[in-house]
Amino acid sequence: MPGAVRRRRSHKVTGRLDSSADRRGTVEYAIPSVPRPFTGPKSYRWLMREHPIDRPADLDAVRESYDRVADNYAQMVVTTGVGDIRSHPWLKASIDAFADSVRELGPVLDVGCGPGTVTAYLAERGLDVSGVDLSPRMIENARRLHPHCRFSVASATDLDLGEASLGGVLGWWSLFNLPREVLPQVLALFARALKPGGHFITATHVGDEDAVRTEAYGGVPVRWTTHKWRPEQLVDLIERAGLYPVAELRLPPEEYSGPGLVVMARRPG
Ligand SMILES: C[S@@+](CC[C@H](N)C(=O)[O-])C[C@H]1O[C@@H](n2cnc3c(N)ncnc32)[C@H](O)[C@@H]1O
Residue 5 located in a structural domain: no
* pLDDT mean across residues, the chain: 85
Across 47-62, average pLDDT: 82
DSSP code, position 173: S
- In this prediction, residue 28 carries a pLDDT of 25
- In this prediction, residue 254 carries a pLDDT of 78
Residue 100 located in a structural domain: yes
Residue 215 located in a structural domain: yes
Residue 50 has pLDDT above 80, yes or no: no
**Residue 182 structural domain:** 12-266
Q: Which pLDDT tens digit goes with each residue over 73-118?
A: 999 999 999 889 999 999 999 999 999 999 999 999 999 999 999 9
Quick one: which of 115, 263, 206, 41 has its CA closest to 16? 41
**pTM score, two decimals?**
0.84
Q: Which pLDDT tens digit goes with each residue over 181-216?
A: 999 999 999 999 999 999 999 999 999 999 999 999
Evaluate: CB of 142 within 6 angstroms of ligand 1. Answer: no
Evaluate: CB of 237 within 6 angstroms of ligand 1. Answer: no
DSSP code, position 176: T
Q: The domain that contains 64 carries what CATH number?
A: 3.40.50.150
Residue 6 located in a structural domain: no
Quick one: which of 206, 164, 216 has its CA closest to 48? 164
Report the separation in Å between the CA atom of 174 and the middle of ligand 1, taken as the mean of its atom positions. 4
Evaluate: CB of 156 within 6 angstroms of ligand 1. Answer: yes
Residue 152 located in a structural domain: yes
* CB atoms inside a 10 Å sphere around CB 90: 15
Q: How far apart are CA 131 and CA 261, in angstroms?
A: 21
**Burial group, residue 192, by CB count within 10 angstroms (0-12, 13-18, 19+):** buried
Residue 4 located in a structural domain: no
- The total number of structural domains that make up the chain: 1
> Ranked by mean pLDDT, which of 4-18, 39-53, 124-138 comes out on top?
124-138
Residue 245 located in a structural domain: yes
Evaluate: CB of 121 within 6 angstroms of ligand 1. Answer: no
Across 219-248, average pLDDT: 97
Q: Whose CA is nearest to atom 4 of ligand 1?
A: 114
Residue 57 located in a structural domain: yes
**Which of 6, 122, 134, 226 has most ligand 1 atoms within 8 Å of CB, for mutation?**
134
